[in-house]
Amino acid sequence: AAERHSAALELSVCAESVEVRRGGSCEAAALPAGVSLEPPSCRALRRLPGDGLHLRMRLHRPPPPADPVFTLRESLKPHKKYVFYCQSCGDIVLKGRKFLRVLPLPSENWSDLVEEWCCHPNPFARSTLHPQNDDCFLGDTFFLLNSGNEPHAPGSPKSKENTRVICKRCKTMLGETVSSDTIKYYITEVIIQPSEGCFSPTPRSQFVQSMVAQCLLELSSAKSTFRFTIKGDNGKTYILIWLLNSDTLLVESLGSSSSLSVPTLFGDVFMPSSGSVETWNAVKVLYQPCIKCRNKDLADAWENDMGVHSLKFPSETCLELLLILGLSTASLPPSLQCMKSFQV
């Protein structure tokens, strides 16, 4: 009884921080500027073996100054020159490209839906949406450009391997040829910046998760779609993702979790750690890996579900994303890593 009493915890909650005292030691988790708590809202306080102390409380944060949803359509404007860089190594892919038209593409199954709209044979059956010299067509996870005389375009795409567009420096797959005059570049592989700017590298894992999160946000907002299949350019399904929350705020102080020091295979850390307290906007997702035939029945059911949206990325990027999700799950307390059969 004496040992239990000496190990008793005392919790103090104020608007700026949370303090936990045990005997003579004290650990505090401070909040960044602009973020505050409501101490009276503290509830569901409990201690879980292997997890630590859990509690729920209401958080206050000023609304962001602008809509956080980023779209590729907003980053590309007609009549401006852009430079396209390989995201992995920074090599210039396209230099000084100026577009007269920047247009969104319809959904991939648009031609199938036309038959439901028309009372006569599909007038677009033999039509293809290919960009002209000064066009840029935007898809969910890619953009289409007219190849022109670009050196990255293969001469005669006859096999799947010959259609891959590769970075000349680091040999990363940037996209693929769609036809003899059209190239598809994936948004996770290329950084687009105005010609007058300079290239600013972004750690690979941060860039991939940022672009995928933005894509999920845009599609869920525009189409009320919350379930997604992540497919590779080889046609295989790698991940099933269910978007749970799009307004999650992560606040973390140094030493409060291992996630700040979790290394990845991409040469950076999972999250930035430039200060004692960090704050990130994040999306909370449930996911199921589908590699090595895992969750095949569920993947087949989602494949035939009209409420599920398919997203295509290079196969290597799908594996990177799966590793990023796994590292994120591992950084959570064990009791928060799963929800039913899904990982969080």
Check whether residue 235 and residue 327 sit in a common domain.
Answer: yes
CB 15 within 8 A of CB 39: yes
Cα dihedral 279, 214, 143, 241 in deg (nearest 10): 120
Tens digits of per-residue pLDDT, 217-234?
999 988 899 999 999 999
State the Cα–Cα distance between residues 262 and 203, nearest whole angstrom.
Answer: 14
| Percent above pLDDT 70 for the chain | 79
| 144 and 35 in a common domain | no
Quick one: pLDDT at residue 123?
Answer: 66
pLDDT at 263: 43
Q: Are residues 310 and 229 in the same domain?
A: yes
Q: Each residue of 280-301: pLDDT tens digit?
A: 889 999 999 999 999 999 999 9
Lowest pLDDT segment from 76-80, 308-312, 324-328: 76-80
* 4 assigned to some structural domain: no
Residue 268 binned pLDDT confidence (cut-offs 50, 70, 90): low
Q: Work out the pLDDT band at 34, boundaries 50, 70, 90.
A: confident
The answer, yes or no, to whether residue 30 has pLDDT greater than 50, is yes
Whether residues 133 and 27 fall in one domain: no
Rounded Cα gap, residues 24 and 32, in angstroms: 26
Indicate whether this model's pTM tops 0.85. no
277 and 189 belong to one structural domain: no
Specify whether 56 is located in the same domain as 166. Answer: no
Query: What residues contact residue 153 under an 8 Å CB cut-off, 6+ apart?
Result: 147, 165, 177, 183
Domain that holds residue 14: 9-60
Within a domain: 3: no
Angle between helices 315-330 and 204-223 (to 10 degrees): 90
Computed over its alpha carbons, how large is the radius of gyration of the chain? 24
What's the one-letter identity of residue 216? L
> Count of domains in the chain?
3
Instruction: Pick the more confident residue, 119 or 214.
Output: 214
| Same structural domain, 117 and 180 | yes
Is residue 289 one of the residues assigned to a domain? yes
Q: Is residue 136 part of a domain?
A: yes
Q: Could you tell me if 299 and 268 lie in one domain?
A: yes
What is the pLDDT averaged over residues 32-51?
A: 84
